[in-house]
Amino acid sequence: MVTGRGRIVRTAQVWGPVGFFLLFALFPFYWMAITSIKPNSELYNKRLMPLLVHNPTLKHYIDLISQTHFLLWTWNTMLVAVIATAISLVLGTMLAYPLARMRFAGSSLMAMTVAAIYLVPQPLLFLPLADLINRLDLGNTLTSVILTYPTMLVPFCAWLLLGYFKTVPKELEEAARIDGASRLQTMRRVFLPLCTPGFISAGIFAFTLSQNEFLYALIFLTKSSVRTVPVGVIAELIRGDVFYWGQLMAGALLGSIPVAIIYSFFVEHYVAGLTSGSVKA
């Protein structure tokens, strides 16, 4: 029998670390939230408790929307992220499927190369990409980042899907082939539907990376009308040595909401994709 004291100790041992890491993970969001609703008189008053809000206001949100192109930046960010994620998933699937399900000379080397390409730092790639974008006359267009983001997303999606594809039993494909289905039909009707958690996991990661990407967007998007949220907020709300902290935190908080909503809806599939979930025949 577990005594009452033992039950309390066990509960503390379980929920103590969980509560600590939960507070540690949510504290930045709390800081952004309270900073975004503090008036400037409280933001720069060192005598007040920094973790509390005495006179909350929505002025920073109103100024962010009315005095900047934040809504347009949000639309640009979502458009770029969705298209770049879709392109990366399609190309990543085309790359990962043969590496995971077919045997041919050099397949292991190609799989290692895919992982190595993902590890290449962005600063090494933006110079040739910038020259290519200039030659194509795509500067200050969303097309420039839509074309360059997959250079970092495709290797990542392929690497993530490669591990998940290997968990699907080959007997399912063999049974479909025996019934007369072609390899393309087997892939489209049998194999890919079973990999939905892997696609969701890769898609969330790719969407998050493309939404938060800063370097390529900073280089290729210099006009305010075509900027994305990360670049627009930094470029127009930091003027010299003046930081508009209220609007900066409001923009950061609003910019993180879409990803939080996506994670909340697909968290089960997302975890299954990360753990290379099992497939029941």
Judge if 44 and 88 occupy the same domain.
no
Query: What pLDDT, on the 0 to 100 scale, is given for residue 279?
Result: 41
- Going by C-beta distance under 8 Å and a sequence separation of 6 or more, which residues neighbour residue 91? 150, 154, 157, 158
Judge if 37 and 80 occupy the same domain.
no
Judge if 66 and 43 occupy the same domain.
no
The answer to whether residue 172 sits within a structural domain is yes
The SS3 call for residue 272 is: helix
Measured between alpha carbons, how far is 270 from 202 in angstroms, rounded to an integer?
8
The answer to whether residue 279 sits within a structural domain is no
Domain boundary among 38, 57, 76: 57
The answer to whether residue 182 sits within a structural domain is yes
Q: What is the CATH number of the domain that holds 156?
A: 1.10.3720.10
Judge if 123 and 35 occupy the same domain.
no
* 242 bridge partner residues: 239
Domain boundary among 19, 39, 57: 57
- Going by C-beta distance under 8 Å and a sequence separation of 6 or more, which residues neighbour residue 57? 37, 38, 39
The answer to whether residue 280 sits within a structural domain is no
Residue showing tokens 């408790």: 49
Judge if 105 and 20 occupy the same domain.
no
Residue 142 carries which side chain, given as an amino acid letter? L
Domain boundary among 42, 57, 72: 57
Could you give the percent of the chain with pLDDT greater than 90?
24
Judge if 83 and 177 occupy the same domain.
yes
**Percentages helix, strand, coil for the chain, rounded to the nearest 5?**
75, 0, 25
Residue showing tokens 């006009």: 223
The residue range of the domain holding 205 is: 60-274
The answer to whether residue 220 sits within a structural domain is yes
Judge if 32 and 117 occupy the same domain.
no
Judge if 67 and 172 occupy the same domain.
yes
Judge if 35 and 128 occupy the same domain.
no
Query: What pLDDT, on the 0 to 100 scale, is given for residue 227?
Result: 92
Query: What pLDDT, on the 0 to 100 scale, is given for residue 271?
Result: 61
Tally of domains in the chain: 2
Q: Which of the 8 DSSP states describes residue 168?
A: S
The answer to whether residue 281 sits within a structural domain is no
Over the chain (281 residues), the average pLDDT of each successive run of 10 is 68 82 88 90 81 88 91 94 94 88 77 79 82 89 92 89 83 82 82 84 88 90 90 88 88 86 72 50 37
Residue showing tokens 């072609």: 182
- Could you read off the pLDDT of 210-268 as tens digits, one per residue? 998 998 998 898 898 899 999 999 888 888 788 888 999 999 899 888 888 877 777 66
Task: Dig out the tokens for 148 from the structure.
Answer: 């360059």
Judge if 86 and 178 occupy the same domain.
yes
* CA angle at 114 for the pair 113 and 118, rounded to the nearest 5°: 110
* 238 bridge partner residues: 243
* Contact yes or no for 223/20 (Cβ under 8 A): no
The answer to whether residue 16 sits within a structural domain is yes
Judge if 218 and 164 occupy the same domain.
yes
The answer to whether residue 248 sits within a structural domain is yes
Measured between alpha carbons, how far is 101 from 95 in angstroms, rounded to an integer?
11
Judge if 135 and 261 occupy the same domain.
yes
- Could you read off the pLDDT of 195-216 as tens digits, one per residue? 888 888 888 889 988 998 998 9
